């Protein structure tokens, strides 16, 4: 049984009026390119001719993966908790970009194998104190844990929406989570495993070959049918941080929030969310194309055209944050740029 969310398709009632407003700004038709598409999309999401972005948030979900101990990452598992400490000190890339763009950043411990104690800026939402189990030899989590993680992720979004947030990005941290993302992508798209598995934190050729072999071993162990439902896929191969992101995406769309799509881990969660409720995609602005293998597979499956392709593959929501000023620019031209009529400028008559 899949979780139930009520996500309405975005309204197209104002499409003609939105396009008229965009086209009648003092510029040649289409000359602001993707900014015009952003303005139209956010106008649809908010069902208004004057869309705005308020109280932007970035939620970063952190969790450990039992499979990391098998050597699927170039970094040791301890880096997960060490990076959480870096977030709390304000020193990570996510901190830098969130400060730059005045985004509220919240760090959520979904299941890091480390005890942080009570810390300002960190929410303890551990599903398990040791992270997921090793999905190469057994399911990553129980169905109950999967359902709990999903609903907790949804709850965090409902909290920030209650504070006036209408634009939201999701980021993640968890050594080994590109492995989970690769398996989820392979199973939900049907694309070959090899095209879904990348170097993650920087594996060399031998490391990549080893990682792919371990991913195949995990698939052979689970032996899922081709039509396995998404909750089964997440239970077998997900991370607690990934499953919380699935719930967060669903709750954000349910609340009518504009969602900032990020890289390969975040998009694996979005892919899963779209299999639960396809209309979640109506609310997503795809911010960038990650250099990590598998993201191109995901973007094709979701028919997505990201705003940026600048070689980023850090994760942590950083691609979404780097692209966020483009959304602000789209709102600015939509709300502040003069029309031909108001400026007394002649339009192209051809």
Task: List pLDDT tens digits, range 307-322.
Answer: 999 999 999 999 999 9
Q: Of 232, 174, 227, 219, nearest to 192 (Cα)?
A: 219
Mean pLDDT in the chain? Answer: 95
Average pLDDT over residues 246-253: 98
Out of 277, 316, 336, 341, the active site residue is 316
Residue 340 has pLDDT above 90, yes or no: no
Domains of the chain as residue ranges with CATH: 57-333 (3.40.50.10210)
- 104 catalytic? Reply is no
pLDDT, tens digit, 9 for 90 and up, residues 1-26:
677 899 999 999 999 999 999 999 99
pLDDT of residue 69: 85
Q: Is the pLDDT of residue 133 over 70?
A: yes
Of the pLDDT bands very low, low, confident and very high (cuts 50, 70, 90), residue 241 is very high
147 or 210, which is more confident: 147
What does the block give as tokens for 313? 């593959």
pLDDT in tens, 195-205: 999 887 677 88
A 10 A CB-CB count for 12 gives: 10
Q: Is 190 helix (H, G, I), strand (E, B) or coil?
A: coil
The confidence score (pLDDT) of residue 322 equals: 98
Percent of the chain beyond pLDDT 90?
Answer: 87
Phi, psi dihedral angles at 63 (to 5 degrees): -160, 150
Q: Is the pLDDT of residue 345 over 90?
A: no
Token pair, residue 80, equals: 């997960």
Structure tokens at 191: 């694309």
Does the pLDDT of residue 187 top 70, yes or no? yes
What Å distances lie between residue 152 and 243, 299, 321, CA to CA? 9, 26, 23
Residue 350, pLDDT > 70, answer no
Higher-scoring residue by pLDDT: 344, 31: 31
Report the pLDDT value the prediction gives residue 341, as an integer from 0 to 100. 86
Give the pLDDT confidence of 215-236 residue by residue, as tens digits. 999 999 999 998 999 999 999 9
Task: Write phi, then psi, for 57 (nearest 5 degrees).
Answer: -130, 150
| Residues 32-42, mean pLDDT to the nearest whole number | 98
User: What is the pLDDT at residue 320?
Assistant: 98
Query: How many whole angstroms separate alpha carbon 197 and alpha carbon 295?
Result: 10
Q: 3-class secondary structure for 34-46?
A: HHHHHHHHHHHHH
Identify the pLDDT of residue 34: 97
pLDDT tens, residue by residue, 258-284:
999 999 999 999 999 999 999 999 999
């Amino acid at each position: 049984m899949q979780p139930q969310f009520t996500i309405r398709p975005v309204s197209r009632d104002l499409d003609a009026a939105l396009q008229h407003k965009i086209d009648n700004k003092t510029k040649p038709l289409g000359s602001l390119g993707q900014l015009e598409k952003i303005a139209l999309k956010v106008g649809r999401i908010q069902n208004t001719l004057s869309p705005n972005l308020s109280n932007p948030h970035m939620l970063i979900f952190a969790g450990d993966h039992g499979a990391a101990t098998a050597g699927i990452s170039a970094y040791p598992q301890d880096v997960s908790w060490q990076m959480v400490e870096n977030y709390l000190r304000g020193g990570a890339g996510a901190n830098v970009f969130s400060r730059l763009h005045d985004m509220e950043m919240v760090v959520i411990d979904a299941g890091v194998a480390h005890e942080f104690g009570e810390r300002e800026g960190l929410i303890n939402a551990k599903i398990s104190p040791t992270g997921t189990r090793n999905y190469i030899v057994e399911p990553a989590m129980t169905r109950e844990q999967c359902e709990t993680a999903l609903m907790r992720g949804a709850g965090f979004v409902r909290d920030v929406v209650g504070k006036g947030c209408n634009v939201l990005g999701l980021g993640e941290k968890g050594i080994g989570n590109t492995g989970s993302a690769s398996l989820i992508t392979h199973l939900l798209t049907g694309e070959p495993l090899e095209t879904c598995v990348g170097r993650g934190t920087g594996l060399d050729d031998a490391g990549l070959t080893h990682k792919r072999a371990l991913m195949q071993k995990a698939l052979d162990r689970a032996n899922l049918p081709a039509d396995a439902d998404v909750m089964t896929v997440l239970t077998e191969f997900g991370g607690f941080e990934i499953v919380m992101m699935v719930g967060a995406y669903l709750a954000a769309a349910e609340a009518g929030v504009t969602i900032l799509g990020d890289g390969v881990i975040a998009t694996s969660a979005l892919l899963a969310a779209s299999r639960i409720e396809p209309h979640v995609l109506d609310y997503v602005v795809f911010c960038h194309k990650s250099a990590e293998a598998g993201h191109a597979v995901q973007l094709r499956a979701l028919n997505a055209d990201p705003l940026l392709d600048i070689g980023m593959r850090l994760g942590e929501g950083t691609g979404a944050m780097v692209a966020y000023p483009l959304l602000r620019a789209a709102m600015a031209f939509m709300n502040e740029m003069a029309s031909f009529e108001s400026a007394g400028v002649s339009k192209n008559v051809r």
